[in-house]
Amino acid sequence: MSDPLSVAGSIVGVVSLGITASQGLINYYEAFRGQQSAIDHTTRKLAHLRDFLDDLRRQLDARNSQHEDDDLLSSVRSSVEDCAAAIYGLKDELNKFDKTFRPGTMAGLLAAGRRVAYPFRERTLQRLNEDVDDVISCLSFAVQVLQQSDIGNIQRGIADIQVSIDDNRALLDLVRGSQVSSEIRAWLKAPDASINFNEILKRKHPGTGSWFTEGPDFTTWLTKPNSFLWLAGFAGCGKSVLASTTIHSVFQHRRGHPRIGVAFFFFTFNDESKQDASAMLRALVLQLSSQLGHGHTHLSGLYDAYRHATPPESALLECLHDVIRDFNDVYIVLDALDESPRQKHRGTLLDILADLRKDEPGLHLLVSSRDEVDIREGLKALPEETIKLKNEFIDRDIASFISQYLQQRLQRWAEFHDKIETALTTGAKGVFRWVECQFKILADCPESEDLLEKQLESLPPTLDETYRRMLDNIPLASKPYARQMLAVLCCASRPLKVDELTDAIAVQLDDPPTYNTKRKLKNAEAIHRVCPGLVEIDKDRYYGDTVRLAHFSIREFLELDPGSERIDAGFYRVVPQDAHTDVASICLAVLRELVPLEPATLALQFYAARYWPEHYRSGRADRLEAQILQLFTHHSLFVNLSTLLRFPSGYRFCYSEPPSRWRHCLLDRWCQSVPGGVGRRTGGLQREDSSAG
């Protein structure tokens, strides 16, 4: 029998090599961050790999200190050996980079605004992306094995873990899009649906949704031509998790059937890039095109027709129809239709889905959403095509979730598990989200049987009442901060980074609004303390951690009309028009903090420069006019604003243009984007400035 310590040492050696290689590659690419989307994508994948390997090494060190026997380590070693070639491939790439960038070369390249060709070739970036995907796919098995609590669990769970890893590999192959050129992918700008899929998998516990994927409705959907299913349920009942379970099962069905296509999309309330029909169509077209063995002629044709513009939804829909017909069967899963804004995008989305379902015998479409009137009327689902997610099977899934959570997270209450399980199972009424909130509250309960009983006896009866109590429990001094934070998160155009949100809260909405450094929250922990249980932080070491509302139902609760029969948020109630006005005002205030002719000093200034006109259009113009005119009549600040718009990823520097030209171009674009008198007034400023030469 081999020595476990020597086995562990060899594994750690390979993992450490991967960490060194990925960090070295990141160091090279990070210098050119923001100048090319393909570089940013590769750097982000490398950062994810580095973090993944760091976590694996920590777990190996912990197991090594426990002197685990080599049954466990042999399973891990096999997984590591499978990906060793890819790790050595990353090291080889790093060695080539070292030869390309001799000492002192980097500084000179950056100063001249140039870069050497090799590390930035499409072929190089694609090879790196594939190596990263291969390493993570292989090592996911090792990580899950190490997370098992004992050898018995490892032996029992090893087959299930392997199936899950195989499915994840299939997912990577499915959505990677490597068969499509980076030029077309950069032009198409298809949202990455795998991000949402992976986030949902983190929340999913074993067995959830098996009642559906092993039942007759799912089997019929898989086999019946032009089949359709609508998973209809209320807030927090687990629709997204069930959609992810469906996707996994479709992967399994697809094995051995190359003429089957699979695609999916998750509509997302806190990310405007994943809310409309165009985003959905672009994602589906890319995913399916990359699966066609004979190439992607339809997508290439679309690119040739619209290479200098964004393709219209009608052209995207026609392309999707063409791609679907190249398969024998295509399975499409769309989650959370209700998170596409009703007044803005949803009507068009429902029309496109109706068109998509026509005359497509090979299409199998499954959607999930709340049962809202416009969605019900738009989908026109038959009774046998509708799965109501309020049933005994959901209740069983919730009971299983409660039991597993207690065993894994609340061991300090072990002697009272039966009592807690009974109370939560009875009170859940089919709502996973309600249970999650109660667990957060129980985690803070002092260890006293009497206090625990009082907590269980006074559980809120509904999700709305749960949110109301969470808001009521915010400390008095923090309430204005919490109200401003929740309003900002409700209407932000994209997920905000931690430091962007803390900048937004630092703006004091007085007359005039001012940036107050004393109001700035120090870190993510401070954000959690202001709004406990209502916000979540998504970790990302490369792009920065982002903050979001913990669930769509929170935003819905905050925006409830006082005339509703449901409990409203009171002091924290968010009126969208007022919230957009406040965010526009916050953006303009942080732009006023620009130091003339100096780089941005606040994280939120990049967001503010890009998105304040959108918030202006959705807000109350009369409350913003003074701030806008102040900004646009300050020449040096205006120059900084135009520079900021070229700084983020997707924009190019244009050093050859004089600052006055930047101002004219920006004013011209802005005047076209805003209504009413302010646009005309600044237009006058533009003409006056232009005539002055």
Residue-wise pLDDT tens digits, 604-661: 998 998 899 999 999 998 899 888 888 777 766 776 776 676 644 333 333 333 344 4
pLDDT tens, residue by residue, 259-313: 899 999 999 988 889 999 999 999 999 999 988 877 689 999 999 999 999 999 9
Q: What is the mean pLDDT of residues 60-70?
A: 58
Determine if the pTM surpasses 0.85. no
pLDDT of 648? 41
Q: What is the DSSP letter of 293?
A: T
Residue with tokens 């953006």: 587
Per-residue model confidence (pLDDT) at position 52: 77
pLDDT (mean) for 429-441: 92
Q: Looking at residue 4, what is its pLDDT?
A: 44
Residue 455: what pLDDT? Answer: 93
User: Does residue 674 have a pLDDT over 80?
Assistant: no
User: What is the pLDDT at residue 246?
Assistant: 94
CB 514 within 8 A of CB 590: no
* Confidence check: pLDDT of 666 > 70: no
Nearest alpha carbon to residue 667 among 684, 647, 650, 652: 684
Can you give the pLDDT at residue 5?
43
Q: What is the CATH number of domain 180-390?
A: 3.40.50.300
Cα separation, 621 vs 640, in Å, equals 23
Mean pLDDT score, 671-690: 45
Alpha-carbon span 12 to 211, nearest angstrom: 41
Lowest mean pLDDT among 150-154, 472-476, 524-528, 592-596: 150-154
Residue 340, pLDDT > 90, answer yes
Name which of 395-409, 472-486, 663-677 the model is least confident about.
663-677
**Contact indicator for 15, 60 with CB cutoff of 8 Å:** yes
Q: How many angstroms separate the CA atoms of 229 and 250, rounded?
A: 14
Give the rounded percent of residues in the chain with a pLDDT score beyond 70.
Answer: 76
Q: How far apart are CA 161 and CA 167, in angstroms?
A: 10
Calculate the CA dihedral of residues 397, 337, 334, 650 and round it to 10 degrees. Answer: -120
- Identify the pLDDT of residue 169: 62
* Whether pLDDT at 664 is above 50: no
Average pLDDT, integer, range 152-173: 55
Answer yes or no: is pLDDT of 466 > 80. yes
Distance CA(578)–CA(534), nearest Å, equals: 21
- Give which of 391, 407, 373, 576 is closest to 493, Cα–Cα: 576
Would you list the domain boundaries of the chain? 1-176, 180-390, 392-459, 476-692
How far apart are alpha carbons 667 and 661 in whole angstroms?
10
Closest CA relative to residue 201, chosen from 253, 140, 262, 287: 140
Q: Could you give phi then psi for residue 498, rounded to 5 degrees?
A: -55, -45
pLDDT for position 561: 83
**605 CB-side CA count, 13 A:** 22
pLDDT value, residue 690: 40
Least confident among 24-38, 99-113, 507-521: 99-113
Report how far Cα 3 is from the mean position of its chain's Cα atoms. 43
Task: From residue 649, give the alpha-carbon distance in Å to each of 47, 176, 563, 640.
Answer: 17, 21, 44, 17
For the cut 90, the answer to whether the pLDDT of residue 101 exceeds it is: no
Confidence of residue 479 (pLDDT cuts 50, 70, 90): very high
Q: Please provide the average confidence, as pLDDT, over all residues in the chain.
A: 81
Side by side, the strands of the sheet bearing 496-497 are 496-497, 546-549, 535-538
Residue 201 pLDDT > 60: yes
Q: With contact defined as beta carbons under 8 Å apart, do 115 and 33 qualify?
A: no
SS3 of 541-572: CCCCCEEEECCHHHHHHHCCCCCCCCCCCHHH
Q: pLDDT tens, 239-260?
A: 999 999 999 899 888 877 878 9
Q: pLDDT band at 74, cuts 50/70/90?
A: low
189: tokens are: 């700008």
pLDDT tens track for 409-420: 888 888 999 999
Q: How far apart are CA 195 and CA 508, in angstroms?
A: 35
Across 66-80, 329-343, 351-365, 473-487, least confident range: 66-80
d(CA 501, CA 506): 9
